[in-house]
Amino acid sequence: MELVFTIATAIGTGISIAAIGRLAGRATQTMRLTVRATQVSVALVSFVSRHAVSWSKALRAVVPHG
């Protein structure tokens, strides 16, 4: 009887470890996506801020002033 309990516990623990591993994998993947999205946002903001002055000058040259 004790052997059955030990085997059941081992199987349960194995399933728990596998589930935790899968959850951790998903969390890691989500974290990577979040980091990637942040990097893209930062790159976009820096790109826009670098070119904003020249874009506004170009717009002022094209758009007639009222």
- Encode pLDDT of 11-30 as tens digits: 888 888 888 888 888 888 99
Looking at residue 65, its pLDDT comes to: 66
Provide the mean pLDDT of the chain. Answer: 84
> Cα(62)–Cα(26) distance, rounded to whole angstroms?
50
- Encode pLDDT of 27-49 as tens digits: 889 999 999 999 999 999 889 88
> Cα(26)–Cα(32) distance, rounded to whole angstroms?
10
Quote the tokens at residue 62: 């094209």
Find, among 36, 56, 38, the residue nearest to 48 by Cα.
Answer: 56
Looking at residue 38, its pLDDT comes to: 92
